[in-house]
Amino acid sequence: MLHFESDYMAGAHPEVLQRLIETNLEQTVGYGADEYTARARALIREACGAPEARVHFLVGGTQTNATVIDGLLARHEGVLAAESGHISVHEAGAIEASGHKVLTLPQHEGKVRAEDVARYIDDFYRDETYEHMVAPGMLYISFPTEYGTLYSLAELEALSQVCHKAKIPLYIDGARLGYALGAEGCDVTLRDIARLADLFYIGGTKVGALFGEAVVVTNPSLLPHFFPLVKQHGALLAKGRLLGVQFEALFSDGLYERIGRKATSLALRLKEGFERLGYRSVVDSPTNQQFFLLPNEVVDRLKPHAGFEYWGPRGERESTVRFVTSWNTTDNDITALLQLLEQK
């Protein structure tokens, strides 16, 4: 059976697991005050070119978004996000559960446009009754987006400018950040992210770790007293060093970059294979998530042999499907999938 359902189906990348094995019996203080965590912080600051940045390690993505957003917003503020944004749709109300409204913006292949953000904010404050409405207190974007698409450097610069002009923080959800930075044609670097965002997180769970996300805060005025908030949100790991050990491994010997490049090049091969066989991409994604329009009989023919995500029907005869690669996808997996596809 081949697996393209998602990028969190296997455990940890062998180099990450190896470090967990080597350090397993060591005894360290808890809650992230250990030296592995300190070294992981230093490596991330260096990779971001942000020596002053504060780095916090949390366990998972929904938890990270809920904690960060709760920490950034005042009671009367909400978070701006694409209507397709993960926090708008797939976080079980975790944002609202801590009291904040998600203010949705139109999405274009999963992306929000700087002019839409600017217009939202202008319209809001031009409305005389604005104090009766929820104020836009920050902007949330995902990079890559939920559809695998990427913002160009110019688009990120524009979003950053709009946010800073409006004095609201720009927060980037990097659950799959590695698969953006490693993508062919991505003109954005980790340093650009650190420079343009006020804070963001580097996803570990989907990019080689067993679990873990690294929140990088480059705007020093944000998230004071974050530790108790992390604990309140159930995001504090007793054996915090497990996060430090994993991120130290991910940011050693260029592992994080290697994972991103490999998974996205395999995704590209997969995409070209599908298109060569005449199947159309639904979204122009350069990252590890690929979306295709497949005839239903092809969907049925593949199912017994390959796992992938069904997104819904498109008319009578076709369906939209998602194939995802990750650090543990192999060349042979792609070859085998394409052979399945060719068979008549």
Among positions 157-186, residues that touch a second copy (CB under 8 A) are none
* Sole residue written with tokens 């292949």: 109
332 binds a second copy (CB under 8 A): no
Task: Give Rg (Cα) of the chain.
Answer: 21
Q: How far is the CB of 344 from a second copy (least distance, A)?
A: 28
96 binds a second copy (CB under 8 A): yes
* Sole residue written with tokens 């697996």: 3
* Sole residue written with tokens 């604990």: 231
Which of 165, 187, 220, 227 binds a second copy (CB under 8 A)? It is: 227
Please identify, among the stretches 12-20, 105-113, 114-122, 247-255, the one whose residues bind a second copy according to the rule CB under 8 A: 12-20
Q: Give 35-48 as a DSSP string.
A: HHHHHHHHHHHHHH
Please identify, among the stretches 44-52, 59-67, 267-275, 288-296, the one whose residues bind a second copy according to the rule CB under 8 A: 59-67
327 binds a second copy (CB under 8 A): no
299 binds a second copy (CB under 8 A): no
Q: How far is the CB of 20 from a second copy (least distance, A)?
A: 7
66 binds a second copy (CB under 8 A): yes
304: part of which helix (H) or strand (E)? none
Exposed/middle/buried for residue 178 (C-beta within 10 Å: 0-12, 13-18, 19+): buried
Task: Identify which of residues 8 and 147 has a Cβ nearer to a second copy in the complex.
Answer: 8
In whole angstroms, give the CA distance from residue 239 to residue 30: 5
33 binds a second copy (CB under 8 A): no
Which of 32, 60, 208, 286 binds a second copy (CB under 8 A)? It is: 60
5 binds a second copy (CB under 8 A): yes
Chain positions 186 to 205 lying near a second copy, rule: CB under 8 A, are 205
- What is the b/e burial string over 224-257, where b = at least 16 CB atoms within 10 angstroms of the residue's CB? eebeebbeebebbbeebbbbbbbbbbbbeeebbb
